[in-house]
Amino acid sequence: MGMVVDTRIIEIVVALAVGSGATWFVARRSLSREFDQKLRRMSETFRKQHEAVVDKLNASHALARRELEHQRQTAPRNGAAAANDQRAAVARLEDQLKSAYSELDRLRLEVKGPAPEGSPKPHNGFADTQPFEPRKSLQR
């Protein structure tokens, strides 16, 4: 009877060891399969996100290149237009200045009368000035 009990205990221990080994193997395969599936899903999600970011960056880059090309094409025209505007403004101001000086000349004529014969006449609509000649000023 002692031998039968010992044999039974050994059989039970061996059966438990084989059962736990089989359970461990099946559980490991199952967990490994789940891990692999989860890893594949995460990799696919990451790849899709990466592709979306790359697509957005490519679109932004293409838009920036188009804007840069547009700026390169319009910059000379914009510069020429700005220069023309400035020239037109200068011409308007010169016309206003000439008309103001002619009005001053007209008012001067009303107040002082016509200029004497030897005095210089205004030209270009600017004030009457004479070049400075130091010898003439010393002779006086």
pLDDT of 36-51, one tens digit each? 899 999 999 999 999 9
Residue, of 115 and 91, whose pLDDT is higher:
91
End-to-end alpha carbon distance in the chain: 160
Could you tell me if residue 125 is left (phi over 0), alpha (psi between -120 and 50 degrees) or otherwise beta? Answer: left
Q: Is the pLDDT of residue 95 over 60?
A: yes
User: What is the per-residue pLDDT for 41?
Assistant: 95
Angle, CA 25 vertex, CA 19 and CA 26 arms, to 5°? 90
Question: How confident is the model over 52-75, as a mean pLDDT?
Answer: 96
- For all residues of the chain together, what is the average pLDDT? 84
Q: Is the pLDDT of residue 85 over 60?
A: yes
Q: Is the pLDDT of residue 140 over 60?
A: no
User: What is the per-residue pLDDT for 13?
Assistant: 92
- Reported as a pLDDT band with limits 50, 70 and 90, residue 34 is confident
Close Cβ partners of 130 (under 8 Å, ≥ 6 residues apart): 120
User: What is the per-residue pLDDT for 108?
Assistant: 80
Distances (CA, A) of 66 to 52, 54, 70, 73, 78: 21, 18, 6, 11, 17
Q: Is the pLDDT of residue 122 over 80?
A: no
**Distance from C-alpha of 103 to C-alpha of 97, rounded to nearest angstrom:** 10
User: What is the per-residue pLDDT for 6?
Assistant: 84
